[in-house]
Amino acid sequence: MATDAASLPNGHGRGLVFDFDGTLVDSYPLIEEAFAHVMRTHRLDDAARELFRRSRGLPLPEQMKLVAPQTWEELVATYRSVDATLGHARVFRGIPTLVQKLHQAGAPLGVVSCKRRALVEAELEAVGLRRYFDVVIGYEDVTPPKPAPDPLLVAIGKLGLPRSSAIYVGDSLVDLQTGRAARVRTVLAAWGLTPELRASFRRHRLWAIRPADMLPLVLTSPNGNGHKRSA
């Protein structure tokens, strides 16, 4: 059962749920490398690469169904076999400090990903961040996955947060759709986005250019309006 905002451990009545890929870790170079291997193995063309990129943020099986509806299971198997050999993604600069400060302040923290939970937890362990998160929700944990609101709402419930006291942060259209569907305040994590991708989100109101921009959103009065994107 969600607790009253005034009784949350940080005294500010807010908690934070993160997306994983592209938000906590800079995993897209590895994702691109794995998909390049899929393209070579299955002789896919540039149109397939474009479909894969445009479906960023969806679960891998859903991406591959868009790329190759008839052979998507083979593509998923190929992708996962090479992905397991590529090592761990680099954590974004500023993320460890942000997570540590939020944890020290008593803010409930969670992760909601379309990646399998075991992979997310292994990555978090590798960069020394797993212990800071109270809840980790992976692809297999909640159905339907993002962009349905269910995984985010489950995470918020497990954190003991009322919906109005939760903030979700992610880097993709899927994340913004998830937050909107859940009716949870959602911040665009712009620190890993290219200028082209940033331009595509110009209509979204709440941005964080650096991880540190999240601190005042969480560690201030619940009645604050947050930060709008800087000009």
Q: Which residues have a Cβ under 8 Å from the Cβ of 93 and sit 6 or more positions away? A: 211
| pLDDT tens digits, 162-184 | 999 999 999 999 999 999 999 99
Tell me the pTM. Answer: 0.88
Please give the Cα distance from 231 to 52 (Å, whole number): 31
H/E run at residue 151:
helix 150-159
Q: Where are the alpha helices (DSSP H) in 43-142?
A: 46-54, 60-67, 72-83, 95-104, 117-126
Contact (CB, 8 A) for 106 and 9 = yes
Please give the Cα distance from 170 to 188 (Å, whole number): 5
The residue count for the chain: 231
| pLDDT tens digits, 14-63 | 999 999 999 999 999 999 999 999 999 999 999 999 999 999 999 999 99
DSSP state of 212: G
